Chains A and B, each alone.
Chain A
Amino acid sequence: MYSPTIILEALVNGLMLGAVYALIALGLTLIYGVLHIVNFAHGALLTVSMYLVWIGCEYFGLDPYVAILFVTPAMFAIGYFLQRLVIGPASRGSDNGILLVTLGLSIVIQNLLLAGFNSDTRTIVTDYAFGVIPLGPLLLSQPRVIGLAVSVVTAGLLWLVLNRTDIGKAIRAVAKEKLGASLVGIDVAHVYAMTFAIGTACLAIAGGLLMPSFYVSPTTGAAFVLVAFTIVVLGGMGSIPGALIGGLLIGVVEAASSLFLGDSLGQIGIFLIFILVLLFKPTGLFGAR
């Protein structure tokens, strides 16, 4: 049996990885909550963010955390125009249309990345990738501590934007009452694009937080987004606090199952939870319906 310190350490590190999962899920759940579609391009866009961070490091010598400052506005713009110029017009207002368009987009993006960067895995070497921060008897991975802090701050900022600004209130209004929103003069197409942009910008931050300790290849994003889907279902489709709590919880579950079942089986716990949620609480922890 493991010593309590090792177990606790694994769980805390899992919690911190969960925070980055939460960030990815946050973007996914926001887009679902407002546009009522599951964004299949989310994984591919995460991969794009990770490549942008990698490019920032490789060609401009930027630290991955500094690169976040540049990649976030870039991904925000990419998200905005993808929705405004591609997904919106191509789907012609039908939800099934949007679903197919995002699925198609993910395939196109993945193959463009494959053409541009081939299938090699790319990594960023930093001095702190294996750094640890001691906390009492626990040794915490430095990139993960930063990941937790940045994720929590981002979630807080997102909450402020959604609750305190006009565009945030407009986003929440459009989520439930599109016609009513149009009638007060809210431009629904703009709000859709802003929502997509914010969701995509979350991926840029997640990409920057992941790069110091992960690699990127054209398919990397898909693995994270599969976990993010689980979190969105666990937390309740469209629920922001659900995504945050769900992400942290999934991180802990993954860490615990890696510890007890072995590293390669770490994700079993995640999907076990996924099935249990679907069976016993299909609306998720914070689901409204």
Chain B
Amino acid sequence: MLEITDLRAGYGGTEVLRGLTLSVGKGEIVAVLGSNGVGKTTLNKVLSGVQPARSGAIRFNGQDIFGASAKTVVSAGLIHVPEGRKIFPNLTILENLELGGYCRPKSARRTNLDKVFSIFPRLKERTTQLAGTMSGGEQQMLAIGRGLMGEPKLLILDEPSLGLSPLLVEEMFTLIRRLSDDGLPIMLVEQNVVQSLELASRAYILENGTVTISGDAAKLKDDPELRRAYLGL
């Protein structure tokens, strides 16, 4: 579905991604893990076309999207739900969702809205509320709902559990499982290592802009190197 080969990117003289290679297949949840500053957010920005890469290759669904504009990437169905949600605070919930389908034909909007409302009934109750006045958890749901309006073929979720209460984190991970069960491939970018590994089929651990450990999520959970580095065990 998504294949990234030897990707390099950075800001000014600083190289952030140093030859990163990873892939996400159909029906998978792939976790991309790592602590702050290893290049996770830069990777997502490069993938979504808002940050230029220096070299490497990105193929998505058979299409070369290296250097493509954000609009092309979204139209191709690679949808990125960013860290910090980045919803439109001055727009209503309904308007936020409508703009999620900005690149899709208007005729599809009604059915997509119904789909999102069936996943997030709470959004349906409050379509006219300004998005900026919602709680953090609700904003995260709106951000994912907005992403789903773009008819994703693959969804990148950047830190969906960030800033949520443990109960809401649990709810968020259940939701991600549900989306995946419906056939949507997901690239889950997280700092929450334990829960992400439970959810994902495969995982990549980033350090300093490249993949240091990768493999089957269930096996990685018991990897002594990972347990030492991330779990302090």
Contacts and interface: CB of A to CB of B under 8 A. Distances in A.
Contacts, number: 71
Contact of B48 (A166, A173, A183, A186): A183
Given A177-B88, A183-B50, A169 B103 contact: no
B102 A177 contact: no
A115 interface: no
B150 A184 contact: yes
Interface string B199-230: 00000000000000000000000000000000
Interface string A214-233: 00000000000000000000
Interface in A159-185: 166, 169-170, 172-173, 175-177, 179-185
Interface string B13-31: 0000000000000000000
B69 interface: yes
Contacts of A175: 90
The binding surface of chain A is classed by DSSP as helix
B48 A169 contact: no
A180 B90 contact: no
Contacts of A186: 71, 99, 102
A172 B92 CA distance: 11
A58 interface: no
Interface stretch (B3-11, B74-82, B119-127, B178-186): B74-82
Contacts of A179: 50, 82, 86
B71 A172 contact: no
A176 B50 contact: no
Interface in A208-261: none
Given A179-B86, A180-B88, A185 B95 contact: no
B102 A176 contact: no
A187 interface: yes
Contacts of A173: 88, 91, 95, 99
A97 B70 CA distance: 24
Contacts of B50: 179, 182-183
Chain A residues touching B, range: 10 to 19
A176 B91 CA distance: 9
A185 B74 contact: yes
B102 A170 contact: yes
A172 B79 CA distance: 21
Nearest to B96: A173
Interface string B169-203: 00000000000000000000000000000000000
Contacts of B69: 187
Contacts of B81: 183
B146 interface: yes
B138 interface: no
Nearest to B87: A180
Given A182-B70, A183-B48, A183-B50, A177 B98 contact: no
Contacts of A185: 70-71, 73-75, 102-103, 150
Contacts of B75: 185
Interface string A137-178: 000000000000000000000000000001001101101110
Contacts of A177: 86-89
A173 B102 CA distance: 12
B82 A169 contact: no
Closest 5 CB pairs of A and B: A185-B74, A180-B86, A185-B103, A173-B88, A182-B70
21 contacts: A166-B102, A169-B98, A170-B99, A170-B102, A172-B90, A172-B91, A177-B86, A180-B85, A180-B86, A180-B88, A183-B48, A183-B70, A183-B82, A183-B86, A184-B146, A185-B71, A185-B73, A185-B102, A187-B69, A187-B70, A187-B71
